[in-house]
Structure 1
């Protein structure tokens, strides 16, 4: 399996122009977390080390082709005294597949508070998917063998009755990563897209839908390590008109809220293809958002 450091490594083509390599995958489209993570890497590469990334906002515009490389074009929007901003366009075959704005901030002092981490079983009390044959053979766990992902069973996690959809997941990268905070941030951007949209399906088990990430926003709140356990507390407050809104709060093992995520995704019902449509026409319909 290709490691996260190799996935996030970009080739520097020219000033503010980078290229991500092609990596083996069983997915038909480029994984959204990969595009977001690589976009953030390209933005970070143009910012002075005194600034720390604190937020990103991205839109998935077209499905990516995992068999061709992605080129990242960085626009230096602003370099201020406390904040700086970058815009990144991810391009394949001359077309933008993803666009992202990232904001960076120097450390300041201010008020402090946070929500309390929910009470859930420890990750050690939940089975490792790679030790459960039925899970280990699934496409999801085959694709992300390098990640230790343990879904908290609903019956072992207290949930508020007024929440429409919820799931909680322990996650960490299996191998030790270097002590480079920006690598952990970009790794978390990659990780954050894995299970979030699936939260919208929790009340609709068995309903077949066409799904794809539409937009993705993250705020990085406190230091963390992606190779240590992180609890991803996810909810989907609303779904309708073929789209679902999802949101997540990420905590470290000590209960510190380290990041927050909001995403909207496509969740329209699968349609039976018209018997008169050509094979190519059907493939084009299912391949476009």
Structure 2
């Protein structure tokens, strides 16, 4: 393993889902963290059900695990930067207290990811004025993150105003590269643009955090044909862990290594834990990483 460059994590969303709290509600923090140890990962991201920093740090120390980051829903366009900044200061303080590396930011103004809208055709589109507001606001949040020794990494996401490669291009062009970085999510860009490598090669210099999410092509095609919402698409099984779908992670991982990527790669797959046993799928991902990605690296 390229330990000096990369830490491998797995997100809590396979155990419990913040958008639908009833999913996996019986999976405790101890259960989640212990499964992560069994599966051989270095850490995780903070989920909505995680406790205060002191309690979490004790649980992490007992298992020799680390925190990579935590999701932050910004509403810069809808609510203004003052409110976003206030909330973000609190967010960053918590992240610093638990030793995180990044603050994951997603602009949720007009987002449909929690609605019943067709995730493939009804995403919001920002106007020119809104783009200016968003860029200015993210630059401010990026500076706030730096005050806490964190990197702001922007999460492009299905059902939001920054989803496609063209929209990510615009965000990268209009924000300060010193303070606004990029989270590269394979599943979201593949579901949006049907390719992963274009985003990676074009904006590799801005990528400071990575999510490895795989796609079941047949399920995605059916979900698109039926016009499913984001929730219904992932409940149908559109997302899965690396090695269980159609995305070729060997090319992606090779490029990240060749360009000396430093940071976390976090396995993430929104699935119903009642149907996709969290530890079983964590082990599937770990086996794929060890037997395919890391084996190829050593050749």
Is the TM value for this pair above 0.5?
no
**TM-score bracket for the superposition, by shorter chain length:** under 0.3
TM-score by length of 1: 0.25
Which structure ranks higher in relative contact order (CA pairs < 8 Å, sequence separation ≥ 6)? 2
- Normalized per residue, the structure richer in strand is 1
TM-score by length of 2: 0.24
